[in-house]
Chains A and B, each alone.
Chain A
Amino acid sequence: MEDEEVIKKFLYLNRKAPYGSIYALESLEVVLIGAAFDQNVSLAFIDDGVYQLKKDQSTDGIGMKNFSSTYRALGDYDVNKIYVDKDSMDERGLTIDDLMNLTYEDEDDDYAEKPSISILTSEKISALMEEQDVILSF
């Protein structure tokens, strides 16, 4: 297939809170389907999007599906470049300890378990966006 020869850098830019609108959930659905295409995939979380990675989420009070556990599966889909904007975290009083511990097994390093999340400054996030071929913004 022609598709298999092209490897592009895909960035999924997540800007919205996990609940309140459907963007976060449907973004994750694209990421999971997209993983089958063997592209170079990164995820970035900025603005209220950082809440998508918050640990101990509960949707009991709002009658919606809690899909936060799906983020934990990303490592198994070889989606392990997850970047979080530091300014967005600071503005919301969050630190990396408030986020889920997302990891992946590095097949080039005897399947050692490694963290998937990196906290980047806004400048670094900008640079990351600059180097992408495709940015899907949600």
Chain B
Amino acid sequence: MKFGIQVNEGPYQHQSSDSAYQFTKAALEKGHEIFRVFFYHDGVNNASSLTIPPQDDRHIVDRWTALAKEHNLDLVVCIAAAQRRGMLDEKEAKRQGKNASNLAEGFRISGLGQLIEAGIQSERLVVFGD
């Protein structure tokens, strides 16, 4: 089965963020394909390279980065949702005249069309949110 995943909630705030990761990991382990993981609403914060959880807790951002590296996952952060929440890649930070960027490795920033495309191309689009 080819899945698209939509993550609508922020890390540590809401279990949706964890559930999306667990589902994606389990699906890959079962041999399913993940067409794309799309981060929307506060879900964009799952991609912040500035995230520093306590040492005895899971690292949600690094966990996605590692999973992406292992399975060549397409992790896409919505640009409109990202910009209003202060999430920028290097190129966009430069373009907007900001002095820092914070997009973690393994993620890329793109438009909402990527979500619609995931809906079209995947056999199931699974939404994790409130």
Contacts and interface: CB of A to CB of B under 8 A. Distances in A.
Contacts of A104: none
B68 interface: no
A111 B117 CA distance: 30
B26 interface: no
Given A135-B127, A137-B127, A137-B129, A23 B116 contact: no
B93 interface: no
Interface residues of A, number: 20
Interface string A106-138: 000000000000000000000000000111111
Interface in B7-22: 8
A29 to B, nearest CB: 6
Contact of B111 (A33, A133, A137): A33
A37 interface: yes
B59 to A, nearest CB: 26
B113 A36 contact: yes
Interface stretch (A3-11, A75-83, A86-94): A3-11
A30 B120 contact: no
Given A22-B41, A136-B6, A8 B120 contact: yes
Q: Is the interface of A mostly helix, strand, loop or mixed?
A: mixed
Interface bracket on B: 10 to 19
B116 A30 contact: yes
Given A136-B6, A137-B127, A137-B129, A30 B117 contact: no
Nearest to A13: B127
Nearest to B118: A134
A39 B113 contact: no
A18 to B, nearest CB: 15
Interface in A6-46: 6, 8, 10, 22-23, 26, 29-30, 33-34, 36-37, 39
Given A33-B113, A36-B113, A6 B127 contact: no
Interface of B: 6, 8, 40-41, 80-81, 111-113, 115-117, 119-121, 125, 127, 129-130
14 contacts: A6-B120, A8-B119, A26-B41, A26-B80, A29-B80, A29-B112, A34-B115, A37-B113, A37-B116, A136-B6, A136-B115, A136-B125, A136-B127, A138-B129
Interface of A: 3, 6, 8, 10, 22-23, 26, 29-30, 33-34, 36-37, 39, 133-138
